[in-house]
Amino acid sequence: MPPIGENAIARIRRDHAHMLQLTERIRAECTEQEVRDSCKDCAPVRRVVCRGNVEQLIRSLVETTLKHNLIESMFMEELVPAAHRLAHNQAHMAIARQLQAIRVVFAEDGNGIVAIEGIEQVHQSLLAHFREYDEQLEIHLAAAAPAPPS
């Protein structure tokens, strides 16, 4: 189990920055998003490269997010009231479902433009989640931190 307290808060914040950075990188893969609705209009060579990159970055985001959610769940086990823990874990599952739906549709239709729109919604969901749930968790973790040596 990762350490509780200041280190735990630092870990959570580092993961969050990494997750947001991955969503930005996915967004940056496409330069045509403003002018097209579908990857069909792009050159086939470009489409293959984009699809590979977007797929790989989404996979990284899914793995990073699931691992992060697991770590937060472990932090919560003994430190937060049950009501918060339940709601927080459910909120994690909602984000995981959102990501999984994007992956399934993208695997079927290969339309990166739509996948990126989905990832932009995930970005917003993550920001809301950090505000609504993770800030509370950080407060509990800070309270559980050992006192600094005097």
Q: Does residue number 29 form part of the binding site for Fe ion (CB under 5 A)?
A: no
Least distance (Å) between residue 129 CB and Fe ion: 6
State which residue, 87 or 105, has the beta carbon closest to Fe ion.
Answer: 87
Q: Are 118 and 102 in contact (CB under 8 A)?
A: yes
Per CB under 5 A, the list member of 61, 65, 72, 118 interacting with Fe ion is 72
User: Within 10 A of 101 (CB to CB), how many other CB atoms are there?
Assistant: 11
Query: What are the CA-CA distances from residue 26 to residues 5, 56, 82, 140, 150 (Å)?
Result: 32, 9, 35, 33, 46
Q: Does residue number 134 form part of the binding site for Fe ion (CB under 5 A)?
A: yes
> What type of residue is 79?
L
Per CB under 5 A, the segment of 29-37, 44-52, 66-74, 94-102 that binds Fe ion is: 66-74
Secondary structure class of 81 (helix, strand, coil) = coil
User: Within 10 A of 3 (CB to CB), how many other CB atoms are there?
Assistant: 12
Which single residue brings its beta carbon nearest to Fe ion? 134
Least distance (Å) between residue 27 CB and Fe ion: 20
Q: Which residues bind Fe ion (CB under 5 A)?
A: 72, 133-134
